[in-house]
Amino acid sequence: MSFDDERHIGFLISDVARLMRTAFDRRVRQLGLTRSQWLVINRLHRRPGATQSELAEMLEVEKATAGRMVDRMEKKGWVVRRPDAADRRVNRLHLTADADLIQMQLAQISERTVDDALALLSAPEQEQFSEWMRRVKRQLQAMLEPEVAAMIEPVAAEPVAELVR
């Protein structure tokens, strides 16, 4: 990576996200989880009752890949499939009590990882950084889903120049 790459905001965002995942992965290894397993647990915690197709979309993998992941996690006792009340062809995915306990541990590890990563920033700097990231996220969501843009809180007109320096 060249010096210019290091200064480019796109590279920085990508590198920070990759490094955060790597730090989190290393800490989660003590629980005996792979990245795909903790991602499934996290997504189903946020969206209980999702279908296998919805899970595949959330994970950005093929449906068959998601199905194999669910099969393995079901064998471990972390996920259960329940029939959809309205459509017998559809199964809804739910975490078991064991997976809920794992999710609680994941949340603690996640919080510690973020705290450690942001340790060099003061509390006000951390809040400002979070606000900038929320604004950029809303802008990107509006760009990707223009029909929903009107429902999203408008992005502040102030430039985010400080973020790109």
The whole-angstrom separation of Cα 51 and Cα 83 is 10
pLDDT grade for 162, boundaries at 50, 70 and 90: very low
High-pLDDT (> 90) share of the chain, %? 73
CATH class (in words) of the domain with range 3-117: mainly alpha
For residue 145, the model assigns a pLDDT of 86
The candidate with the shortest Cα–Cα distance to 33, out of 135, 107, 106, is 106
pLDDT value of position 146: 78
Q: Is the pLDDT of residue 147 over 90?
A: no
The torsion defined by the Cα of 157, 160, 161 and 164, in degrees rounded to 10, comes to -150
Asked whether the beta carbons of 81 and 70 are under 8 A apart, the reply is yes
Half-sphere exposure of 69 (CA within 13 A, CB side): 24
Query: Where in the chain do CATH 1.10.10.10 domains reside?
Result: 3-117
| pLDDT per residue as tens digits for the range 106-132 | 999 999 999 999 999 999 999 999 999
Does the pTM surpass 0.75? The reply is no
Query: What integer pLDDT is reported at residue 161 of this predicted model?
Result: 40
So what's the pLDDT on residue 157?
A: 42
* pLDDT at res. 7: 75
